[in-house]
Amino acid sequence: MAYIPRPADLLDQTRCECNFSRKQQMHQHGRYSALSVGISFGGGQKHPQNLHHEGAAAHVLATLLNHIAFICLALLLSDDSLILNFANSIFCACTFNFGPKTATFEHMDSGNLPFGWCSVTVLGRFNPKQGGHLILWDLKLVIEFPPGSTILFPSAILRHSNTPIGCGETRYSFTQYTSGGLFRWVDQGLQLMMHEHDAALRTHAGRWAMGLGLYASMPILRKGNA
């Protein structure tokens, strides 16, 4: 049974220091404790901002973000008030899922860039052959996802969830992503442009075509492996 000790132990230890709110324990992704941190835009914000935390949560997040275990996993500038989580990461935000039995509901991360990547690293002590699988519903795939593994996929457009783990086992995860609102903010010249909202809506089809064009087709992949 595979086991990546340091990040999982850190989440287990720091989980006890947090006073999680009901919203942080019961949310659209599942019934487990989670804290998100980083730069976000959406949900009524007038400009990109760092997600705000106070007290024990702020201390725990600072500890995790500065620990070499998560810096290795992660491996401004129009607004110098925005703080990146990791100097060498392409993602603007991340979520620490403290579990201790993290298993998400079937969902899509609709706030993320539709054609962008989401990085998910799974941690803990569990038998990956019996539980903790990643389900990609639209692709009809059930993927064995052992501790220490990382997967990148467009979580905003693919429905996904996890299978439960066994009694006495633990499962945590570390996810990295970027809000789709940040890309819109840049496209609109770093400002809100409500008077051009209708025109922006008309460009949706073009953005989808552009996003799909970023993906490699099977013929290209086969040619690259030839």
User: For the chain, what is the mean pLDDT?
Assistant: 81
Of 144, 92, 148, give the one whose Cα is nearest residue 118: 92
Region 5-184: CATH code: 3.60.130.30
Q: Tell me how crowded residue 130 is: count the other CB atoms within 10 A of its CB.
A: 13
Q: What is the pLDDT of residues 162-211, one digit of tens each?
A: 999 999 999 999 999 988 887 777 666 556 666 666 666 666 667 778 88
Q: Which pLDDT score, from 0 to 100, does residue 130 have? A: 97
Domain boundaries, the chain: 5-184, 188-224
Summarised one tens digit per residue, pLDDT across range 209-226 is 888 888 888 888 888 765
pLDDT value, residue 2 = 46
DSSP 144: -
Handedness of CA 200, 194, 76, 91 (dihedral sign): negative
- Rounded Cα distance, 199 and 194, in Å: 10
DSSP state of 27: B
Task: Convert the pLDDT of each residue in 28-87 to its tens digit.
Answer: 677 888 888 877 766 666 777 777 778 888 888 888 877 766 765 655 444 567 777 777
Amino acid at 210: M
- pLDDT tens digit string along 105-124? 999 998 888 889 999 999 99
Q: How many CB atoms neighbour CB 120 within 10 A?
A: 22
**At 170, is the secondary structure helix, strand, or coil?**
strand
pLDDT of residue 53: 78
* Residue 91 CB burial class (10 angstroms; 0-12, 13-18, ≥19): buried
Extract the tokens encoding 13: 């230890």
9-18, 112-121, 131-140 — most confident range: 131-140
Residues pairing with 141 in the sheet: 136
| Mean local confidence (pLDDT), 10-25 | 80
Q: Is 190 exposed, middle or buried (0-12, 13-18, 19+ CB in 10 A)?
A: exposed
Give the global pTM: 0.68
Is the pLDDT assigned to residue 144 strictly greater than 70?
yes
Local structure of residue 196 (DSSP, 8 states) = G
Q: From CA 117, how far away is CA 102, in angstroms rounded?
A: 21
Q: Do residues 124 and 171 lie in contact, with contact meaning Cβ atoms separated by under 8 Å?
A: yes
**pLDDT class for 133, splitting at 50, 70, 90?**
very high
